[in-house]
Amino acid sequence: MSGDVLVLGGGAVGLTTALVLAESGKRVRVWSRDPAGMTTSAVAGGLWWPYRIEPEKLVGEWSLESLRVYEALSDRPEETGVRLVPGVHADTRLAGLGPWAARVEGLREVGPPELPPGFSSGLRARTPLIDMPVHLGWLLRRLEAAGGTVEAREAASLAQARSESGASVVVNCTGLGARELVPDPSVRPVRGQLVVVENPGVEEWFTAVDHASSATTYLLPQPGRLLLGGTAEEDSWDLEPQEATAAAIVERCARIRPEVGRAKVLGHRVGLRPARDTGVRIESERLPGGALLVHNYGHGGAGITVAWGCAQAAAALVG
């Protein structure tokens, strides 16, 4: 058992990290409190973009590394859930982004002629838009093909996980759970609510962030549905969809595409983004007894955006 790695957390970051480790030759097990389809990752919008994530000096490279993986996976969208879809980030300029933006092919500034009424600037790009339930299923299958296993099990403590698993390395990808497990009180929820509707013909994604409030506006066309958002409510643990919030989301999105206001509602989703005051934590320490502990958590609203880059960084600490 001395060569085993135990990964805690079965969301996108945990599964991607486990997969990278398994395909490097490690014997990997994943403990996940919830099935992949019940994690925060499963309700994420799935648009690649470094949103609500720090530290900026590292996020760019992690994002680009992940982007290259998703570009390759987009050749098999039905299998991997990854498609390259054009769209616009309104009220965003290249000058406000880091050096990474210059390495995103086709990313360009646009003016009013290419924007909905009321917006004066924005960025157009063709980026990965990931159908998260499909992608999580693909990650699970590929992990299993690499010899990894997933158990429905929650760690009571890091030391207990090490002791009961017998693993020589524990990798902590527990997201919001790290607040209590580590414990790390700087990990905080940022609540996101969205509405799922029948797609009335929207083919491109659109986002606009209101930095003065918790409201955001986005339309994300996924196969068989359209995701409308959203919210970014800091320190809210409420997992129940709020009717008034849903109505406001549909109203904002209908200003962008009026036909959305008449679309049939298919469902509502709520997820808690695992933000961390000082940004993503990827570092190692020793557990009592000498076992290696590697942390990979605090990805905020961009876990899928940096998943592969962070997985590689964490795997490098495992060795």
Q: How confident is the model at residue 212 (pLDDT cuts 50, 70, 90)?
A: confident
* 130 in a known ligand binding site: no
User: For domain 4-318, which CATH number applies: 3.40.50.2300, 3.40.50.720, 3.20.20.70, 3.40.710.10?
Assistant: 3.40.50.720
* 282 in a known ligand binding site: no
State residue 1's pLDDT score. 40
Tell me how long the chain is: 319
**Cα distance between residue 52 and residue 192, in whole Å:** 12
* 218 in a known ligand binding site: yes
Position 136 pLDDT exceeds 70: yes
* 249 in a known ligand binding site: no
* 174 in a known ligand binding site: yes
Q: What is the 3-state secondary structure (H, E, C) of 78-139?
A: HHHCEEEEEEEEECCCHHHCCHHHHHCCCCEEECHHHCCCCCCCEEEEEEEEECHHHHHHHH
* 302 in a known ligand binding site: yes
Position 24 pLDDT exceeds 60: yes
* 80 in a known ligand binding site: no
239-245 long-range contacts, CB within 8 A, separation 24+: 239/270, 239/272, 240/270, 241/193, 241/268, 241/269, 241/270, 242/193, 245/193
**Cα distance between residue 233 and residue 222, in whole Å:** 24
Position 2 pLDDT exceeds 80: no
Query: What's the pLDDT tens digit per position in 258-299?
Result: 999 999 999 999 999 999 999 999 999 999 999 999 999 999
Query: What's the pLDDT tens digit per position in 235-257?
Result: 999 999 999 999 999 999 999 99
Q: Taking the model in full, what pTM does it have?
A: 0.97
Look up residue 16 and give its DSSP letter.
H
**Cα distance between residue 4 and residue 7, in whole Å:** 10
Phi, psi values for residue 203, rounded to 5°: -110, -15
**Cα distance between residue 274 and residue 162, in whole Å:** 23
Q: Which of 25-34, 210-219, 238-247 has the lowest mean pLDDT?
A: 210-219
Position 115 pLDDT exceeds 90: yes
Percentage of the chain with pLDDT > 70? 99
Dmax over Cα atoms in the chain, in whole Å?
63
Give me the residue spans of the domains in the chain.
Answer: 4-318
* 41 in a known ligand binding site: yes
- What mean pLDDT, rounded, does the chain reach? 96
Position 150 pLDDT exceeds 50: yes
Query: What's the pLDDT tens digit per position in 35-86?
Result: 998 999 999 999 999 988 999 889 999 999 999 999 999 999 999 999 999 9
Position 229 pLDDT exceeds 60: yes
Q: How confident is the model at residue 3 (pLDDT cuts 50, 70, 90)?
A: low
* 147 in a known ligand binding site: no
